Amino acid sequence: MRYFYIVFFLFLFSCKSAIEDKTVKSISDGAILKKEAKVKAWDNSQQKWLFIEDFWLAYAERNGGLTWGKGTQYPAYEQVEEFDTFLVQVEQGNCLMEFFHSRWRRANDVRRWDDKHNEYGGCPYVFE
């Protein structure tokens, strides 16, 4: 009988692991999780939830880092190249920007993560 319980426990454990693995693999990169006042984004490369700004910085780091750092003034247009990144700081918060097709765009508008990225921090205000 003891053998039965051991086998049954191992079976349940393997089912739980398979379900968790499938759940993690089905989360798309940049998916947003809002829990109370905390907002996090799923980072596929690290397989974990990160605060949104940490997610943006991890994305930038995987692609060579923030090309233009962070600040309140956009870099000179003549010096910017396709896919350069910049963390713009506006009064309402920060937003990761990416230079794409001859203009600065919110990184989410280029990468198409969860639409809620454009509602976070300074992202709704970067073009004002």
Condensed to tens digits (0 to 9), the pLDDT of residues 111-127 reads 999 999 999 999 999 99
pLDDT of res. 17: 41
Nearest to 66 by CA among 38, 95, 41, 29: 95
Condensed to tens digits (0 to 9), the pLDDT of residues 5-47 reads 554 544 544 444 433 343 566 899 999 999 888 999 999 999 9
What pairing do the DSSP bridges indicate for beta strands 85-90 and 70-71? parallel
Higher pLDDT, 35 or 105: 105
